[in-house]
Structure 1
Amino acid sequence: MKVLNLFIKRIIDLLGSLIGIIIISPIVVIVALSIKLTSKGPVFFKQERLGKSGKVFNIIKFRTMVVNAEKIGDGLSVKSENDNRITRIGKLLRATSLDELPQLFNVLLGQMSLVGPRPPVTYFPYDGIENYPEWARKRFVLQPGITGLTQVTVRNSVSWDERIVVDNKYIDEFNVGLDIKILFKTVFKLFKSENVYMQTTRSKDKAI
């Protein structure tokens, strides 16, 4: 049953990403021009992330911050939309999660899935897959996703370890039906900005 679910999941990923890329192409052009005309630097932001089994790949996003933002100020942490490293168009893209759209190319290439645990940077919250606690490595069993159970529930309102618990729950309960449910919930949450940034003192901030 799990093998069949994984096969169907990949078919959905291929069709979904291909159709999605075609549909969003006009949006990509508009966003790309907006980024280029309002700030210096490339349209896309690439960053090394940990994927399935801890394999490193480059995630693709629309650039929402100034160049080399992770080396300025609070580094990876973005405490609020008032962070002066965020560009004007970047505030809108981050609030609506439209900056994540280019990851459809990662899905098409088989580096990501439409649904799955979000891929962390290689050095945070733990430095490399080998430094993750044994219980936390379960989240790397499946391909990372553009959206996931964490994103439609707690999003960024809790600490990374608490998010990993939710990711592990997704791994345990994975089936195509759950993926479809998460995709529908994501559509409803797409234009809502709650829990995008830090909500409590124990929470980690929204990452770059």
Structure 2
Amino acid sequence: MMRALDILLSLTGLIIAMPVMLVLTLIGLFDTGSPLFRQQRVGRYQQPFTLVKFRTMKKETADVATHLASHQAITRFGHFLRRTKLDELPQLWNVLIGDMSLVGPRPCLFNQHELIEYRQQHGVFEVRPGVTGLAQVNDIDMSTPQLLAETDARMIQELSPKNYIGFILQTMLGKGMGDRVRKD
């Protein structure tokens, strides 16, 4: 049932958000010259997939987890995108094609070994990664890998259609701050 909701909601979201996404793409062209950000992430069963987001950091930023990146790498437009969570809109495509779910554990990078180990221990890789979830609406990010993996596991065990819709609504209403960025 969740996959059917993923398809329906992501397709609807893409159609409705298309004009906004086109405007954000044009602004992003002027901001960084490359409005879309693509990165290999760890997916279901630890299979790689390409995550797509609007770029919020300078192109030359190191390929590290957000909490390890410098806040100076974020562009002014990127700050706006992160604050409003509009940088996540292109992930609706990842959801539509089945790489992700709207609700699930946020996909990590392959170089986040500690988080991967904790997630393996808790069976987190048995589900599709998500755009949002319990950890995100409670401001738990990848800077606390053990807590994140435990929270992801709890979300997976307790996930119901009501929780699924609840996490989406909480995210749309602005709950959660996203991944922290290292202060220099």
TM-score w.r.t. length of structure 2: 0.88
Contact 1:95 1:196 in 2 (8 A): no
Displacement after TM superposition at 1:154 (Å): 3.0
User: Is residue 171 of structure 2 the alignment partner of residue 182 of structure 1?
Assistant: no
Instruction: Tell me the alpha carbon deviations over residues 168-195 of structure 1, each in whole angstroms, 9 at most, x when there is no partner.
Output: 00111122221111112112226x64x6
User: Is residue 6 of structure 2 the alignment partner of residue 13 of structure 1?
Assistant: yes
Distance 2:93 2:109 in 1: 18
In angstroms, what is the RMSD of aligned CA positions? 2.5
Distance 2:131 2:89 in 1: 8
Displacement after TM superposition at 1:70 (Å): 1.4
Partner of 2:22: 29
Aligned pair partner of 1:49 in 41, 44, 63: 41
Aligned pair partner of 1:119 in 100, 107, 118: 107
Greater helix proportion: 2
Distance 1:33 1:134 in 2: 40
Return closer, same or farther for 1:77/1:147 CA change in 2, 3 Å cut-off.
closer
| Aligned residue type for 2:160 | N
Distance 1:43 1:133 in 2: 31
TM-score w.r.t. length of structure 1: 0.79
Partner of 1:58: 50
Larger gyration radius, structure 1 or structure 2 = 1
Aligned pair partner of 1:197 in 153, 156, 180: 180
Identity score, percent = 34
SS class of match (2:180): coil
User: Is residue 166 of structure 2 the alignment partner of residue 166 of structure 1?
Assistant: no
Q: Which runs of 5+ in 1 are unaligned?
A: 1-7, 199-204
User: Is residue 83 of structure 2 the alignment partner of residue 95 of structure 1?
Assistant: yes
**Structure 1 range deviating more: 180-189 or 159-168:** 180-189
